[in-house]
Amino acid sequence: MIVGLFGINFLGFSPLYIPISGPHPNQRTPDSPTSLSPPFPSSSHSQTTSLSPMAAIARVSRKTLASFSSSAHPSTFHRTFAAEAAKAAAITPSPDRVKWDYRGQRRIIPLGQWLPKIAVDAYVAPNVVLAGQVTVCDGASVWPGSVLRGDLNKITVGFCSNVQERCVLHAAWSSPTGLPAETSIERFVTIGAYSLLRSCTIEPECIIGQHSILMEGSLVETHAILEAGSVVPPGRRIPTGELWAGNPARFVRTLTHEETLEIPKLAVAINDLSKEYFQEFLPYSTVYLEVEKFKKSLGISI
């Protein structure tokens, strides 16, 4: 009788047939006793006694597995099977699929009938968010990471004013103080980074320090300066020509004439710097140009 074993060729994954000659260990023969012979040699046999066929197969299998595990990486199976599965499950994109907008984050978000307005020579960074009733006037600049939410009321950034990095400008429906609820920034105003402005009015030629907070109905008059980290409570008025600081903001001193002259110069200097950034960006940044170039290199039609 011929007994065969179907195994696996671990390198090529093809069936492996191992023929074994001789009778089955449990098969009766005319010369064999009535009791069945054990599949493995007993412990009383000497080392020179030949092994049974099943024991020989087990020993060969153990050696094969040991040699394969030492020579090949365990992830070979996974990579091979994954590649075959990927070929079998290739997905053909639908012609009706909407193409991805490579501009990423939307800079202009219309809300209902309100559409943000940006002057031709105003610089607005690509990752800025303008939503709703927002107007950025000539020469103004809004720097990276800022959010101007005009979803409830108007927000205006005046001529040659600048809103620096990570600022948040918002406006409420109405002001409990009876003052205008819209957020208005007049000309030649500098808003420091990380500032929060909500339903406040800033008159021309003012400086708002970094990390400042201006609450509903607050008013900053002409030629006034707020130090960094100042908090202006609702309805508070900062008189003209004064320096205020603290939480809540308190009067520090009166500004000199030379200091008031430096306020618009700072706004003009930041405006000149924004022009250098403005020249580096197309209306929706240049990322899509790099994507188109990459697709052409791969032979993908645009």
Q: Stretch 20-30: mean pLDDT, rounded?
A: 48
Q: Which two tokens stand for residue 23?
A: 């009778």
User: Residue 270's pLDDT is what?
Assistant: 96
Third-level CATH fold of 108-280: UDP N-Acetylglucosamine Acyltransferase; domain 1 (2.160.10)
Percentage of the chain with pLDDT > 70? 63
Q: Stretch 103-108: mean pLDDT, rounded?
A: 71
Of the listed ranges 89-98, 219-228, 293-302, the least confidently predicted one is: 89-98
Higher pLDDT, 51 or 291: 291
User: Residue 284's pLDDT is what?
Assistant: 56
pLDDT > 70? residue 20: no
Encode pLDDT of 114-160 as tens digits: 999 999 889 999 889 999 999 999 999 999 999 999 999 999 999 99
Q: Stretch 254-271: mean pLDDT, rounded?
A: 95
Encode pLDDT of 183-242 as tens digits: 999 999 999 999 999 999 999 999 999 999 999 999 999 999 999 999 999 989 999 999
With a CB cutoff of 8 Å and minimum separation 6, the contacts of 172 are: 152, 153, 181, 198, 199, 216
218 phi and psi angles, rounded to 5 deg: -75, 150
Contact 142, 125 (CB under 8 A): yes
User: Residue 220's pLDDT is what?
Assistant: 96
Respond yes or no on whether the N-terminal peptide bond of residue 248 is cis (omega within 30° of 0): yes
Contact 77, 9 (CB under 8 A): no
Please list the residues that pair with 149 across neighbouring strands. 131, 170
Q: Name the most confidently modeled range: 76-80, 253-257, 274-278.
A: 253-257
HSE toward the beta carbon, residue 82, CA cutoff 13 A: 5
Please list the residues that pair with 297 across neighbouring strands. none
User: Could you tell me the pLDDT band of residue 13, with boundaries at 50, 70 and 90?
Assistant: very low
H or E element, residue 295: helix 287-297
Higher pLDDT, 102 or 243: 243
Q: Name the most confidently modeled range: 17-21, 171-175, 190-194.
A: 190-194
User: Could you tell me the pLDDT band of residue 285, with boundaries at 50, 70 and 90?
Assistant: low
Please give the Cα distance from 216 to 233 (Å, whole number). Answer: 8
Percentage of the chain with pLDDT > 90? 48
Please give the Cα distance from 48 to 42 (Å, whole number). Answer: 13
Of the listed ranges 49-58, 107-116, 211-220, 267-276, the least confidently predicted one is: 49-58
- Range 91-107 burial, b when 16+ CB lie within 10 A, else e: eeeeeeeeeeeeeeeeb
User: Could you tell me the pLDDT band of residue 6, with boundaries at 50, 70 and 90?
Assistant: very low
Please give the Cα distance from 251 to 203 (Å, whole number). Answer: 18
